[in-house]
Amino acid sequence: MEDVRDIRIWPDPESLAEAAAKIFTENAVDAIAARGFFSAALSGGSTPRLFFHLLSSVYRNTINWEQVHLFWSDERAVPPDHEQSNFRIAYEELILGVPIPPENVHRIKGELDPAEAAREYEEELHRYFGDNGIPAFDLILLGVGEDGHTASLFPDVAILKEDVRHAVPSYSETMGNWRVTLTLPVLNNAWNILFLVAGKSKAGIIDKILGKGRSHLYPAGLVKPTHGRSIWLLDREAASGLDR
């Protein structure tokens, strides 16, 4: 299948976050109108912070949060109030500011042993999506690390080939910590993938993934939804390598 990527470049992180919040909101409104609910998996890291804030402020009243279900694409093996917790960032910048029912927030329990947390999260996925087939998120938000990782799928790890489990433990050599991550089959079964990438430090990896036809060498480059679409939202700095 031809690899047609939808790459959208914005002048700065602020306009990037605004574009992401608009796409998230449009997807949520459409999904709720069509099926009565909207399922989204959020990524961690620092880039989504402003995006989360916009959803809980400018776009707060455009979305019917009672029908939104939030999950995570990955989580560090830390308690939910830990400074490295992906849940904590979303909780502080988004969840505290919107009327989402607590039962609609499906966090990965980073405080548990990673294997146990992965098992429990997988059960939660199956409770929500059913257990006959791969969970199909309406939208999955993803970032990209400088090594080309996405979620907690790092380069050259065995779990990149995982095609049975939907959530697994993952160890980050660079950060020296355990995590739990969605697996590639789940990412590629999403209806919408939204990559959010900002900053000069990402220009090199973005050029390698999107600019030189070597995307298959990096986990983020392996994310190609089988029936959905992926949008790459980049700020000008992250996209600067693509101009060459």
> Does 80 contact ligand 6PG by CB under 6 A?
no
> Does 47 contact ligand 6PG by CB under 6 A?
yes
> Does 85 contact ligand 6PG by CB under 6 A?
no
> Does 25 contact ligand 6PG by CB under 6 A?
no
How many residues bind ligand 6PG (CB under 6 A)? The answer is 15
Q: Near ligand 6PG by CB under 6 A, which window of 7-15, 26-34, 39-47, 155-163?
A: 39-47
Binds ligand 6PG by CB under 6 A, chosen from 17, 55, 78, 151: 151
> Does 74 contact ligand 6PG by CB under 6 A?
yes
Binds ligand 6PG by CB under 6 A, chosen from 13, 114, 135, 143: 143
Full DSSP string of the chain: -----EEEEESSHHHHHHHHHHHHHHHHHHHHHHHS-EEEEE--SSTHHHHHHHHTTTTGGGS-GGGEEEEESEEESS-TTSTT-HHHHHHHHTGGGS---GGGB----TTS-HHHHHHHHHHHHHHHH-SSS----SEEEE---TTS-BTTB-TT-GGGG--S-SEEEEEETTTTEEEEEE-HHHHTT-SEEEEEE-SGGGHHHHIIIIISS-GGGSGGGG---SSSEEEEEEETTTTGGGG-
Q: Which residues bind ligand 6PG (CB under 6 A)?
A: 43-47, 74, 76, 86, 143-145, 149-152
